[in-house]
Structure formats: C-alpha cells, structure tokens
Amino acid sequence: MKDTHSDTLYRAATNQGGVFVAKSGALMCMTGKHTGRAPHDKFFVEDDITTDNIHWGEVNKSISEEQFNHLELLVLRHLGHRGMFSQDLFAGADDSYRLSVRVCTEFAWHALATRHLLIRPTNKQQCGFEPELTIFHAPTFFANPDLHDIHSEAFVIVNLKKRVVLIGGTSYFGEIKKAVFTAMNYLLPDKGVLPMHCSANVGPEGDTTLFFGLSGTGKTTLSADGVRKLIGDDEHGWSNDGIFNFEGGCYVKCANLSEEKEPEIWSAVNRHGTVIENATMDAHGVIDFDDTSVTENTRAAYPLRFLKNIKRNGKGTHPKNIVFLTCDAFGVLPPLARLTDAQALYHFLSGYTAKVAGTEQGVVEPQATFSACFGEPFMPRSPLVYAGLLYEKLREQKPTCWLLNTGWTGGPYGIGSRIDITTTRNLLEAALSGALNDVSFESDQYFGLSHPSTCPGVDNALLKTFTQWNSVARYHEKATELVGLFRKNFKRFDDIRPLEVSRF
C-alpha cells in the first residue's frame, strides 16, 4: 500500500536542504557535532512522582521543574518560529500496553525516520488521537549551560509527570528513539511487563528467541535470519501473554555493512525512503559503508516492511530460548555456554561486553564495559526492578538461557582471532534447534560456565577456550583479570539476596 504521508515527508526533506538522495533512493543526512547519544546531557525532572521511583545517579540525573518549565517555553517558542512536522504514532504492538506518542520536530527527515521507527495508527485510531507522551525536538535550539544549569548546549529532558520530553541542540535521531524507549521502560514495570533492550525472532515451529546485547555484539545481525521471522531488532516487552515489539521499524548500525554477510539488512538499507545518518557516497550516489570517517556510528532507519521475513503483528509467544550476547575482547569466555537461572540473572545485571582498540580515542587495550540489563542508559528504575521481573519470568516460563560470545578466541584482541560469523551462526542454530540437548557439557574453572563438548559444524577444539591459546599462563592471567572486573562491577549489587544470584 502506498504511503502518501511518508512520500510527502520525503519530498519535504529534500526541499529543506542539507539532505542528499543516494542512487538507491535513500535519504543521506548529516547530524553535525553529535553523531551519537549524549548521555551526560540527559535529565529527568525530579518531582513528587519521580523522587522515589527513579534510580538517581550518574546515569539518571535530576533537574528541577522550574528549569524544565523555562526550557520548555524557549523550545516551544523556537519551534513556533521555525515551524515543525508532527507525527502521531504508537509504541507497543500489544494494544494492552501501547503508548500513544506525538513527535514534533523541525526537520522533515526526523519526522520520516520517526514514522519508520514507530507503529502507524489506522485511520480509525488516528481520529481523536490523544498523545500520552509528547516529544518536542528542536535540533537548532542550543541551550546556555550556565544560564540553564545543564551540562552543555544539547539536552534531553524527560518530564514523566507532564509526559513531555524536550530534546535540543542535537540532530542525532537516536535521541528521539531512545526517549520513547525510556518512557516505556519507566511505565511498563507497574503493569507487570518487563521492558527489554533486545531483539526477538520466531522459528518455523512458533518458538520465540530473545537476543540481549550491547552495541557491536551482533544483536541485529543474528536476529535477522532467513529462516526465522523477525519480531523486532531492539526493544520489546514481556507480558503475561508473551513478547511484543515496541517499534514498527529498525535503526541499524551500517559501518562495514556488506551484502554478502548481511543480505537482508543490506537490501533494506538500500531502499527508497530509508533514512541514513552520517554515511558517505561517491559521485554516482553509491553509498560507501566502509567509510567511517564521519563516525563509526553510521545508522539507517527503515520500516520493518522493508524486510522480507518478519512477524507482521509484532508479537511472539513466551521465549523458549534467551541469548545473552557479548563481544569478549579478552578472549576468555567460551563461544557458547548454557546458563542456570542464577547465572542468567548475574549476566543480565552485569551486561558485559568489551571495547577494543580503535573504537574510541585513547583505547589501546581491551576495556570491559558493563551496562546493567544490557541497556542501563535507558532504564530509569533500579536495575533490580527489571532483574526481579526477569526472575519471575524465568521461574514461570522456564526458557533455556545461553551466553553467546561473538568476540575473540585464542588470545585477546590484537593476538587472538575473532570468532567468525559462520561459527557463531552454527553455534546459535545448534542451541535453538535442540541439537545440544543430548551433548555433554563441561564447566570452566573461572566463571562456572557450562559449554558443550561438541557442536555440529564447529571445531570441537574451539569450544574449550583455553586450548586455543599459545600460552596457558597468559590465558590464566587474562581470565583472572576479567573475573576481577566482573566482581568489581557487581559490588554495586551486593545487597540483592532475594534474587539468589550466584557470585564468583
């Protein structure tokens, strides 16, 4: 069905200037100074509703109602002068838990990307639409840090009492997307729903799998499967009825994207109407995904319908399998491990992956990164709230939980080799298909993780991590170092006896 509204936004975007059209018909947009989220510039209004419900700290910083009201007046005045594009959409494929969202922004390409990412109401739903969350996005309004008592000229301020989000000083579309996710993450636990930063797909037999993981671990790549139908690639809820997608589209990383390794995503990105941030193209309009000179964080926004193999209603059954993805640059964790419920909770609260040299200025050695619930920057409540909900779901539904390492083996980054995508897919397929049900498992001495002794299509020697290292002594050194980092991070959860989480 032709989407005339999106076509209108597409034309408006090209007419506004600063946007270029690739040979494929994708819109090429540059976001300027901010090519990613600005976590230090995000605030929650502290009031009688949020005081006791927000997990205040470095991640969730407070701002007063007076500061918010002042900035809201300035942003609305700015948008009134500049003009704005408004979109009325839904977050949440399950009608029982959906959130009606109005996004007002000054650039048409942001409105188009929003239309791609959220769920479009029917004509009947559009009539009398009442927003439960309104986002005012003013990328060319820059705050005065001294006058407004905030961190910089950019800001994301969430007012949960007024159900209003102000975004200013940044053109990066991810701020709009994550503002909606943040609101859902705050609201849904009160309804008994676990909000999750994960992708999800469903197999031919109707079995649902969840993929948790931080950026760069393979969450989007592994869930976009030619056989299994994609429910969604980033944000979901787990209710008493099953899984549901928050979104109606995808916002994928495009750096080094190739048709050979990721054909479905490649096809969707190279479509008329896709919105692409901070990528370059040649004189003929061909996009160069290998050029990361602007940023490593090149992104594309497109509707789910651009993919062939999708679950169109955005819903799935209770998961049969849960996969925690990590990119271990220390080369210590096994390629695949089966987790107990206690281990699953531990790794959920830890949210581990590793940054490698070259990804950020000053990073010369692998650096462990921990993000509780695999999405702490977007989780306004205490991590224990989300872990408690997960604990209940694990006890009730009894899914099998796995830890899948898409990082290095045979040594740390720079010495060992990265586990190739074919091996990772074979491990995942074996786990989901039940091919490992009758295989013996062995336990490693540092993390107590049970890894299969054999797996179809995988070199058995690879499954026992330390045998891949040239120096066993060096392996023990790195394993001890990583265990220490896990322990140090987990001290913040020392008081959670009720969750029965194992400790190293």
The CATH number linked to 203 is: 3.90.228.20
Distance CA 63, CA 44 (A): 6
Q: Which amino acid is at 333?
A: L
Region of residue 331 (left: phi > 0; alpha: psi -120 to 50; beta: else): left
The answer to whether residues 206 and 327 belong to one domain is: yes
| Strand segments (E) across 267-416 | 275-277, 280-281, 287-288, 299-303, 315-316, 319-326, 336-339, 352-355, 367-370, 400-405, 408-409
Q: Considering the domain boundaries, does residue 392 fall inside one?
A: yes
13 and 66, same domain (yes or no): no
The answer to whether 417 is a known catalytic residue is no
Q: What are the per-10-residue average pLDDT scores of the chain (504 residues)?
A: 83 93 97 92 96 94 96 97 96 97 98 97 88 98 90 96 97 97 97 97 96 90 89 96 97 93 93 97 96 93 95 97 96 96 96 69 68 95 96 97 96 92 95 96 92 94 89 94 95 66 44
- 3-class state of residue 62 by DSSP: strand
432 and 382, same domain (yes or no)? yes
- On whether the CB atoms of residues 360 and 491 are closer than 8 A, the answer is no
Q: Are residues 158 and 198 in the same domain?
A: no
Shared domain for 206 and 230, answered yes or no, is yes
- Catalytic: which of 207, 233, 234, 328? 234
The structure's pTM equals 0.93
Instruction: Supply the pLDDT for residue 489.
Output: 95
If one counts the domains in the chain, the total is 3
Residue 292: phi, psi to the nearest 5? Answer: -110, 30
Catalytic residue (choose from 197, 253, 347, 451): 197
What is the C-alpha separation between 372 and 317, in angstroms, rounded?
Answer: 25
Kindly state whether residue 186 falls inside one of the protein's structural domains.
yes
**Residue 199 is assigned to a structural domain of this protein:** yes
20 in a domain, yes or no? yes
Establish if 112 belongs to a structural domain. Answer: yes
Domain shared by 293 and 184, yes or no: no
Are residues 227 and 133 both part of a single domain? no
> Which of 178, 320, 347, 451 does the annotation list as catalytic?
178
Q: What is the pLDDT of residue 496?
A: 58
Residue numbers of the domain that contains 291: 1-30+257-297
191 is catalytic: no
Closest CA to 294 of 14, 110, 21, 34: 34
pLDDT at residue 503, rounded to an integer? 42
Annotated catalytic residue, options 8, 152, 215, 267: 215
Domain-embedded: residue 308:
no
From 50, 220, 400, 406, active-site residue:
220
Instruction: Assess whether 8 and 110 both reside in one domain.
Output: no
In a domain, 22, yes or no: yes
Do 214 and 174 have their domain in common? no
Instruction: Report the C-alpha gap between 389 and 131 in whole angstroms.
Output: 27
Query: Which of these is catalytic: 219, 229, 381, 451?
Result: 219
Q: Which residues contact 313 (CB under 8 A, 6 or more apart)?
A: 93
Query: 458 and 322 in one domain?
Result: yes
Domain shared by 199 and 264, yes or no: no
What is the pLDDT at residue 360? 44
CATH code, domain with 265: 2.170.8.10
219 part of the active site: yes
Which position among 34, 120, 137, 299 bears the catalytic label?
Answer: 299
Residue burial 106-135, b: 16+ Cβ < 10 Å; e: rest: bbbbbbbbbbbbbbbeeeeeeeeeebebbb
C-alpha span between 182 and 410 (Å, rounded): 39
- End residue of a domain, out of 191, 207, 227: 191
Judgement on whether residues 202 and 338 belong to the same structural domain of the protein: yes
Q: Is 215 a catalytic residue?
A: yes
37 among known catalytic residues: yes
Residue 304 belongs to some domain of the structure: no
Of 24, 31, 35, 37, catalytic: 37
Rg (CA), the chain: 22
Find the CATH number of the domain harbouring 150.
3.40.449.10
Active site residue 178: yes
